[in-house]
Each structure stands twice: as C-alpha cells, then as structure tokens.
C-alpha cells in the first residue's frame, strides 16, 4: 500500500508539471481544450518570456508524461514480481488512477482554477473569468473519464494478473 501511494504522489507531481509546462512554458492553445469556453475565447498567444522557453516546456512535458505513465508500469511490474492476484492489481490501479482523478478535480479545478491566481498569472486577460463559479463546469467529462478509468483499471489488472499467473 505504501508503494502504491508513493507511486500516486509521483503521478500527482507529473500531472502538475504537465499542466505547468503547458500553461507557463509551451503555451499552445491545443493544450487548453479542457478549459472553460469563456476562458478559452479570451486567451491570447504570448511571446516567449525567455529564449528556449518552448523547448524547456516540451522537455518538462516529456518528463511529466514519464512521471504519469512510469508509476503505472512500475506498479504493474512490481505486482507481477510479487505474484499479485487480480483483486490486488485492481485495487492498486484504482488507487493510482482514481487518486490522480480526485487530485485533478480538487487541486486543479478547485484550487488552481477557482481559488488561486495560477491561470491569470500567465494569462491576465482571463482574470475576470476565473473563480469559484467555474467549479464543476466539466462534470460530464469527469464522469465519462471516470467510467473509462474503471474499465482501464480492470483491463490493466486482468492483463497483469494473467501475466503473474
């Protein structure tokens, strides 16, 4: 259980770095597709603040992606090595994947979007649009993603349990 929670923390850091690199460094509109429509409409392209900003952003993004996928792979390999059963794999993957989803909802949506100056710091034109009223703007996508994550957890657990057997 301690290992699973440690892997979840690594994933959380990776998800934050992914968001930060997209918002602060790479600054491409394609990464803001999950933002509220009204915020997306006012965001303007920015000039790089320093030379190599976009390259640094892409490098951080790649590292962040590894920090998201790596713990899932490591958790599966560790479970195979320890001879986990299907329920053990399922619990591990559900904790890792849903822990990350809960982090996304409460940290990203509630704290960063609704209660901090994170986005307006990089995009001042959005300052008047962000706030607590935006919390839950993407409920439907969270529900869809949640259902997909349950299926993904079952599939990963099944594959890993089959390999471990």
Residue 33: band (very low, low, confident or very high) from pLDDT cuts 50, 70, 90: confident
DSSP conformational letter for 130: -
Q: What is the pTM of this model?
A: 0.86
Question: Please, are residues 92 and 79 in contact by the beta-carbon 8 Å criterion?
Answer: yes
> Using one digit for the tens of pLDDT, what is the confidence trace for 120-159?
888 888 777 777 766 767 778 888 998 999 999 999 999 9
* Axis crossing angle, helix 2-20 with helix 53-82, rounded to the nearest 10: 160
Q: What is the mean pLDDT of residues 47-66?
A: 94
Q: Tell me which long-range contacts 24-28 makes (C-beta under 8 A, separation of at least 24).
A: 24/57, 24/122, 25/53, 25/54, 25/56, 25/57, 25/60, 26/54, 26/57, 26/58, 26/61, 27/54, 27/57, 27/122
């Amino acid at each position: 259980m301690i290992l699973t929670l440690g892997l979840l923390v690594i994933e959380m850091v990776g998800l934050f770095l992914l968001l930060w690199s997209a918002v602060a460094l790479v600054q491409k509109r394609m990464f803001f597709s999950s933002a509220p429509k009204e915020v997306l409409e006012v965001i303007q392209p920015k000039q790089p603040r320093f030379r190599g900003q976009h390259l640094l952003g892409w490098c951080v993004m790649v590292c962040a992606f590894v920090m998201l996928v790596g713990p899932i792979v490591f958790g599966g390999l560790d479970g195979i090595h320890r001879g986990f059963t299907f329920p053990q794999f399922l619990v591990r993957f559900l904790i890792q994947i849903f822990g990350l989803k809960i982090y996304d909802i409460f940290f990203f949506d509630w704290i960063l979007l609704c209660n901090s100056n994170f986005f307006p710091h990089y995009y001042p034109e959005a300052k008047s649009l962000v706030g607590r009223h935006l919390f839950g703007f993407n409920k439907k996508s969270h529900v869809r993603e949640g259902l997909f994550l349950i299926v993904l957890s079952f599939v990963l657990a099944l594959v890993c349990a089959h390999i471990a057997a």
